[in-house]
Amino acid sequence: MLGAGAAATFGGLKPVAAQDARELVIVTYPGALSAPHRWLADRMEARHPGLSIRLVPSDSQDIVAQIKAAQGYSPFDAGPNDEPPHLIGIGEGYLSKRDDAAIPNLANAYPELVTKSGGVGVPATYSLVGIAYNTDLVKTPPASWADLWKPEYRGQVGIARTSSNLGLATLAIAARTFGGSEGDLETGWTKLKELEAKAARSPAALTQMLEREEIAIAPLWNNNTAAAAGKGLPVAFVKPAPGPVAIISYFSGFARSRHPDLVAEWMNGILSPEYQTRAAAAPFYFGPTVRGVEIPADAAPYTPSTPEEVTALQTVDWSKIVPVRGQLVERFDRTFAF
């Protein structure tokens, strides 16, 4: 065992004083999708001797409950949220306001995505809702959202339950395609029933139905479709006209973090070209939220790779949907016999 004097001089390294030892606790995605966060964490730790970044994989509301129940500092420092929980977090006060001066890379983010953040967190990535189809069952790929209602697809379309963002986005798409809106979803309900669709409890279950040929076609995440295609399954993805729907993920600091300076540095790293390029590549296929990021060729079928494709992206007015989300889930379950 090295003595104190040896520790001070071994290899010429300066010892880490106890007061320099810090832990940053970051909520991350479960499974392989956490890899870009680990890459970013390793680089931050290298810049800060004594810093340990612990990634906690979770997509559970248990995290929120722990933050709300905390006495004193939050047990978590920062984490990602899609737009609906992001809006809820702002409303309930457990997300902290952003310090723009501490995040210089914010200047490179798409301004419209920054505006949608509400002054909280940074637009980290986005995933797309497009149309996935089984190439063994569908010989002429759909070109538009309206094509889902072609007679040859009736009874072969899958849709996700509205407990998921995918299901909610599908309802909004159905409404908007036929003259409705997020504030007028009745058209969407009518059009979804016309599909004689098969409902799935989750996006993952919907992907499995597509793989098993229980359905031929479905609104689906680009990430899920890419993962299935990567396994060699006969699945392809379409970015339908007038545009696929982008669901933005914001990375935000939690209120009462003991390390707001490190949280700001983390969010600045999220907006770096290096991180954005890595997250856009296989097997993640996350859409970049900063300008000038080159999309890898193998990601182009699943992620917008040109300025024109980025311009064509649609979004959902979640401010209209979040307040009635519970009602929409109940109605879906009644309508589709869940």
∠ CA(291), CA(262), CA(36), 5° rounding? Answer: 50
Asked whether residue 133 falls in the same domain as residue 118, the answer is no
Output 38 or 112, whichever has higher pLDDT.
38
> How confident is the model at residue 166, as a pLDDT?
96
Asked whether residue 250 falls in the same domain as residue 238, the answer is no
Tell me if 9 is assigned to some domain.
Answer: no
Tell me if 29 is assigned to some domain.
Answer: yes
Domain ranges, residue 299: 22-126+246-308
Tell me if 213 is assigned to some domain.
Answer: yes
Output 43 or 63, whichever has higher pLDDT.
43
* Contact present, 166 and 220 (Cβ < 8 Å): yes
> How confident is the model at residue 338, as a pLDDT?
67
> How confident is the model at residue 305, as a pLDDT?
81
> How confident is the model at residue 12, as a pLDDT?
37
∠ CA(131), CA(322), CA(84), 5° rounding? Answer: 65
Asked whether residue 250 falls in the same domain as residue 234, the answer is no
Asked whether residue 240 falls in the same domain as residue 251, the answer is no
Categorize the per-residue pLDDT at 2 as very low, low, confident or very high, splitting at 50, 70 and 90.
very low
- What is the number of structural domains in the chain? 2
CATH number (domain holding residue 141)? 3.40.190.10
> How confident is the model at residue 236, as a pLDDT?
97
Task: Tell me what the mean pLDDT of segment 229-249 comes to.
Answer: 95
| CA 143, 149, 152, 155 torsion-angle sign | positive
- CA 216 remoteness from chain centre: 25
Asked whether residue 53 falls in the same domain as residue 93, the answer is yes
pTM for the full predicted model: 0.85
d(CA 261, CA 238): 41
Asked whether residue 146 falls in the same domain as residue 102, the answer is no
CA atoms within 13 A on the CB side of 218: 32
d(CA 148, CA 43): 45
Chain segment 242-264, per-residue pLDDT in tens: 999 999 999 999 999 999 999 99
Categorize the per-residue pLDDT at 40 as very low, low, confident or very high, splitting at 50, 70 and 90.
very high
Chain segment 113-130, per-residue pLDDT in tens: 999 999 999 999 999 999
Least confident of 17-21, 175-179, 297-301: 17-21
Whether residue 82 has pLDDT greater than 50: yes
Chain segment 191-220, per-residue pLDDT in tens: 999 999 999 999 999 999 999 999 999 999
Count Cβ neighbours within 10 Å for each residue of 145-176 and write b for 16 or more, e otherwise.
bebbbeeebeebbbbbbbbbbbbbbbbbbbbb
